[in-house]
């Protein structure tokens, strides 16, 4: 059973690639961003707190995210594609523990490597159609700093375990997908 983290900076193409991988390998897609936005859309008290945190470009607390992830792992029977989690090394350790608790382990972390200027361009372009309040230049730059300082070390954590696969995330969608699938199929 595959359990994969799709990893990269905001705007790296995780959402696009995750859709393709979910279909290819019949995985359950766990996107923390989607889970968090659903809470916001439902107007729950938690959703209102999350909305304020996300609008400022900051990360939602680990305890909120971990609770949602544990529930999703417990309900899964196909294998999982994690998109947007873990966002820091503490969450990576927690994910390893949650997977073990459910008799699983992580297969690999696939990171999409995209130059910073391209990330900003993509997110500004996405802002034109997404309606997401967190897609403006100031917030985008803050999110990238947060990613570089807090999230990027996760790749090193899984590199030390021999589970990190680095993929060039700049190019045609189909080419990037083919490179990801080729790397996963070689495992």
Question: Hey, which residues are catalytic here?
Answer: 14, 87, 126, 132, 143
- 40-45 contact pairs (CB < 8 A, 24+): none
Rounded Cα distance between 82 and 109, Å, is 9
Buried b (16+ CB within 10 A) or exposed e, 40-72: beeeeebeeebbeebeebebbebebbbebbbeb
**Contact of 122 with 169, CB cutoff 8 Å:** no
Q: Which of 64, 81, 63 is nearest to 22 (CA)?
A: 81
> Dihedral of CA 55/131/112/1: which sign?
positive
Which two structure tokens, joined as six digits, stand for 117?
Answer: 């200027």
Crossing angle of the two packed helices 153-160 and 89-101, in degrees rounded to 10: 50
């Amino acid at each position: 059973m595959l359990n994969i983290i799709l990893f990269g900076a905001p705007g790296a193409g995780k959402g696009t690639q995750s859709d393709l991988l979910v279909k290819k390998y019949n995985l359950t897609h766990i996107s923390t961003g989607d889970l968090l936005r659903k809470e916001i859309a439902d107007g729950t008290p938690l959703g209102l707190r999350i909305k304020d945190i996300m609008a400022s470009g900051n990360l939602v607390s680990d305890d909120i995210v971990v609770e949602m992830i544990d529930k999703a792992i417990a309900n899964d029977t196909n294998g999982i594609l994690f998109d947007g989690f873990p966002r820091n090394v503490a969450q990576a350790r927690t994910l390893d523990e949650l997977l073990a608790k459910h008799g699983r382990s992580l297969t690999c972390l696939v990171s999409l490597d995209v130059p910073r200027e391209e990330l900003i361009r993509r997110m500004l372009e996405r802002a034109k159609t997404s309606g997401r309040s967190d897609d403006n230049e100031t917030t985008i730059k803050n999110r990238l700093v947060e990613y570089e300082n807090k999230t990027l070390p996760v790749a090193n954590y899984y590199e030390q375990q021999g589970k990190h696969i680095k993929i060039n995330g700049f190019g045609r969608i189909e080419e990037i997908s083919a490179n990801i699938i080729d790397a996963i199929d070689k495992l």
